[in-house]
Chains A and B, each alone.
Chain A
């Protein structure tokens, strides 16, 4: 079944196909672009550590980091390395695993159909052996170690560890050297057979390509999957934070900090609208045009690295402010004061309009980038929304809709700070 979606505002349209194989396909050709970008993704990420299907009798719990491990292993196919197959078409291929999804992707300027065929084929054909698993444990162990040195990564995961008691969002996406040691080929197949069902997946293509060619490849290569119902189980998570403060020392020049507000998750699709409104709220509270930003910057407490983000995934949502500062505690105090001021003083019309225009510009801007649009379509689909609908929602947001979120989503009682301090400078050889 095919559905055509159009937007007057953007002046474009795209096609959604519910393919007989069970796969949802989103095709957004962009005139004039040389490169095509394809994402073949499953709604399966690092937080999906406990699950059952309608074919299983009970929930199983798998080792942390297994979604990411599986992603790595998919490239080691039965008939050789997948990169070598892509090398023949000139496509540049990659993959990533996040909290709630795993995506395999390529971009190319020629041989689109051959590249798409490779993508759909290799992701449908896993080949896990004990020897290969053992070798991968070494490679991923190195990757985990590399991130142990990464101040930005550590300050982020330390914050999540402070915010969440039980939710697996607090666990490093790659797992730990210990947890990946428990992974074996059978577990990989079990996760694969659960989440890599085409009914749980999506194919997104953007840029310069021919949609008919894409559908022809899908018809030829996709093997029909019988529908599957997946139940995911997350341990109960209280609204309170686990720790208000967490600190670590690393080889960094200036202390890094992240301040997080833990908020009540709304589940998809409601969380899409909430998270857009939270983005506006953060812009009003701490954007570069805000009083808080000016005060912090002019007193030398923050530098240009300061920024905000909404981390949302259906079963979790947190509002995060991060940056570098010699006095992170002073920043925290100022942020809490600004939240109190916002609560008592409300939002001015000028601040609201500024935030609305910024969000509108940012969102519309994604339609001008082959990769940006691919990511946006994927994000919208997995959060049970749609990219044009999100844009229209932004254009229609009203100020009074933001006010209750100050109370519920910027609650200082449910906040935490993570700091990475520079380690002592005894580093001479």
Chain B
């Protein structure tokens, strides 16, 4: 396995990280802008990548951009917003074949870097901000994207449960923003948000691939090193560790399969406790040989799926499942029973070993995809760590069964959220 990559400063709160491996056939270059999640700016920030993507120096229209990307052998630009704890992340990425596959010897890396730089720094702006028609369309699209969350009932139910648990924390804000805030955004206000973002964000530029990162680094160093900016100061806030009582909420939607989500507090915020909690969560419901999968799904047939996941940035263990409403209570009891089993040490050493092996498999596998590598090291940077996947695995491998039992004893149920079918609600 490779060693952790070097992250170099190339400007004020601007860093460049290169991870290269000749096995790849592509290169991927990303700019991540991070700002604190804030209800008053989250929606405007979410709109920015969509607006700058639609028109910038050299690519005044989306059609021009699409044709330029097409000629670069179908290079792909991807703009998105996401979150990490209490940070909102605005990302612009471009991925393309390496120069060695160009049919006519074009310098693909260099062209991609220029394109991404121009998108970031030179969007098309008039005296009154972004183009009004384009702003109207992108506002509309953002609205649709937010509303489309309910299309995916699984992630909708999880987001609802988190919002109920952490209503007062920025960590539960939706990275994509809020429908009710969209109408008020004018082309001028959007331009101001853009300038504020460029002025205040911490910027992480990442190159992953088989090519030479130098042209990309030179391009961004030249563009960003002289900029005078005012990067935000930011400390990841603490989160709740223990749930004093359980809150139960049920809602109804027109679905034919109910979703049962349970949010637990993990009991600790200490970094060194994360490995046991992750092992415990995986053993409980993170793998196909987990207790939830083999007992609640396979043996008791109480759900179509059930899984558990620990989020290090919020300290929440989330259990999610697809059930029918009349079996929800039974399923809940069975899922909690599995937690009791872990607390009591009622699981085999073999299950613990199997769980560790599966986690190792996915950690090693990360290094086989550009997105996997980028996501891993961005996560490390944002959490203030610099671990390789192999080092992370070593921490998991050191966890004892006693630590797993102890981690299970520290978990408290905060919120149970049930998304019910309409017919079930009528009965």
Contact = CB atoms under 8 A, between A and B. Distances in A.
28 contacts: A32-B21, A81-B298, A88-B350, A88-B354, A90-B354, A90-B360, A92-B362, A109-B361, A139-B301, A139-B304, A142-B257, A145-B257, A149-B256, A151-B151, A152-B151, A207-B368, A251-B151, A253-B148, A253-B150, A253-B151, A288-B66, A289-B66, A354-B70, A361-B75, A369-B368, A427-B252, A427-B422, A429-B250
Contacts of A353: 71
Contacts of B294: 81, 83-84
B122 interface: no
A108 B148 CA distance: 35
B73 A358 contact: yes
A9 B1 CA distance: 28
Nearest to B253: A427
Contacts of A146: 256-257, 304, 322
Most buried by A among B150, B304, B324, B367: B304
Interface stretch (B136-144, B164-172, B181-189, B226-234): B136-144
Given A81-B298, A91-B361, 6 more contacts: A92-B288, A149-B256, A289-B63, A365-B74, A395-B103, A429-B425
B287 interface: yes
A225 to B, nearest CB: 29
A107 B73 contact: no
B365 interface: yes
A362 B101 CA distance: 12
B270 interface: no
Q: Closest 10 A-B residue pairs measured CB to CB?
A: A90-B357, A32-B23, A361-B73, A368-B25, A253-B147, A288-B66, A361-B74, A87-B354, A358-B74, A109-B364
Interface string B349-370: 0110010011011101101110
A297 B66 CA distance: 13
B244 interface: no
B67 A289 contact: yes
Contacts of B312: none
A90 B25 contact: no
B304 A293 contact: no
A110 B361 contact: yes
Interface string A142-173: 11011011011000000000000000000000
Interface string A316-333: 000000001000000000
A251 B133 CA distance: 30
Interface string B13-27: 000000001111110
B409 interface: no
A359 B71 CA distance: 11
B148 A324 contact: yes
A34 interface: yes
A253 B140 CA distance: 12
A292 to B, nearest CB: 10
A340 interface: no
A281 B63 CA distance: 17
Most buried by A among B70, B133, B287: B70
B252 A357 contact: no
Contact of A138 (B255, B301, B351, B361): B301
Most buried by A among B63, B251, B354: B63
Contacts of B1: 34
Contacts of A145: 256-257
A93 B150 CA distance: 30
Nearest to A90: B357
Contacts of A139: 301, 304
B55 to A, nearest CB: 11
Contacts of B72: 357, 361
B254 interface: yes
Contacts of B251: 429
A290 B66 CA distance: 9
Interface in A216-240: none
A364 B101 contact: yes
Contacts of B289: 83-84, 87
B151 A252 contact: yes
A298 B133 contact: yes
B175 interface: no
B137 A297 contact: yes
B73 A357 contact: yes
Contacts of A360: 73-74, 103
Given A33-B368, A83-B289, A358-B74, A293 B63 contact: yes
Interface in A308-361: 324, 353-355, 357-361
B61 A294 contact: yes
A34 B25 contact: no
A35 B365 contact: yes
A93 B75 CA distance: 31
Interface of B: 1, 21-26, 61-63, 66-67, 69-75, 96-97, 101, 103, 133, 136-137, 140-141, 144-145, 147-151, 153, 250-257, 287-289, 293-294, 298, 301, 303-304, 322, 324, 350-351, 354, 357-358, 360-362, 364-365, 367-369, 420, 422, 425
A168 B62 CA distance: 40
B144 A149 contact: no
Given A251-B150, A367-B25, A358 B368 contact: no
Given A35-B364, A151-B151, A253-B147, A365 B25 contact: yes
Interface in A26-77: 30-35
B18 to A, nearest CB: 17
Most buried by A among B24, B250, B255: B255
Contacts of A355: 70
B144 A303 contact: yes
A148 B322 CA distance: 13
Nearest to B144: A254
Given A87-B287, A89-B357, A149-B153, A253 B301 contact: no
Contacts of A368: 24-26
B97 A287 contact: no
Contacts of A358: 70, 73-74
A3 interface: no
A34 B368 contact: yes
Contact of B74 (A32, A33, A362): A362
Contacts of B361: 35, 90-92, 107-110
Interface string A365-390: 10111100000000000000000000
Contacts of B23: 30-33
B67 A354 contact: yes
Contacts of A293: 63, 66
A4 interface: no
A146 B289 CA distance: 23
A358 B67 CA distance: 10
Contacts of B350: 88
A423 B151 CA distance: 12
A17 interface: no
Most buried by B among A31, A290, A361: A361
A2 interface: no
A357 B354 contact: no
Contacts of A362: 74
A265 B242 CA distance: 61
Contacts of B425: 429
A364 B102 CA distance: 11
A358 B422 CA distance: 46
A87 B288 contact: yes
